[in-house]
A = this chain, B = another copy of it.
Amino acid sequence: MNASLAPKEGKPLYSLLMQKLLKKMASSMKPDERLPAEREISLQYGVSRATVRQALAALERMGRIYRVQGRGTFVSPQKVHQGLPGFYSFSTAMKKLGKTPLSLVLSFSEREAEEYLAEKLKVHPGLPIYQILRLRLADNEPMLLETSYLPVERFPGLTKQALEESTMYRLFRSRYGVEINHAIEAFQSVQTDARTAQYLGMSRAVPSLRIERFTYERGRIIEYTESFARGDQFVYTVRLEPSAKEEFS
């Protein structure tokens, strides 16, 4: 089965190979089944072994395969948590759960960063920032109240309309060419305040999950979001990878 890779437009070879392998695993392979050896894949698809390894490394980071030196490369058996975005997106998470996500932009304004915010965003106080208040619903049930802060200089010309028409991260990518390196999130369980209780339509007796997110591009914070989720409905899931730092233990 010498399935050489079609030279699709623009996409690098290792990316095309990833898709081929994903398709193959989904359609004809079982959990823990061994994939062909790297040199074998290299021959089958007519690419170099380095390219094969680049594709396999990405699949390994996605948790779709695991490799054992001396034995081979195998299909990961997990099912439930598969494909969870390392990066949380309310929209995609809700779709995976079979719910219809909805996002309402409650307010959109421009202001200057006061001390507190400037420290969060690691910018100088007084820098112009957008403040965006959004209510996120799943099947028309309020789930999450989000307040996002973005430096104006990184997102010039951002409007409420644009946010309502697309998701924030899609907008980041398509219109501002944002390349996220990583994000830091912090979780805390808190008593629900009156405003949040009202927006989420619940009693203050129900505790809230407070989520802070710092999004980094080129080592710089380009988004700070503080969210409150209703504790009785909302479970927030993340996927972690061991830091490369463990190499130095």
Cα separation A188 to B232 with both chains bound (whole Å): 8
A100 interface residue, CB < 8 Å from B?
no
Interface residues of A in 168-211 (CB under 8 A from B): 180-191, 205-211
Contact B15 A247 (CB under 8 A): yes
Cα separation A237 to B185 with both chains bound (whole Å): 6
In this complex, which of A122, A229, A239 has the most chain B Cβ atoms within 10 angstroms of its Cβ? Answer: A239
Could you say which of A38-46, A54-62, A131-139 contacts chain B? Answer: A54-62
In this complex, which of A18, A62, A86, A182 has the most chain B Cβ atoms within 10 angstroms of its Cβ? Answer: A182
A76 interface residue, CB < 8 Å from B?
yes
Q: Mostly helix, strand, loop or mixed at chain A's interface?
A: mixed
**Contacts A/B (CB < 8 Å), 28 sampled:** A18-B247, A31-B219, A50-B50, A61-B243, A61-B244, A62-B244, A65-B219, A66-B181, A76-B218, A77-B122, A77-B219, A80-B122, A81-B184, A85-B245, A87-B240, A182-B240, A183-B239, A184-B238, A184-B240, A185-B240, A187-B209, A187-B237, A187-B238, A188-B209, A189-B207, A189-B208, A191-B207, A209-B209
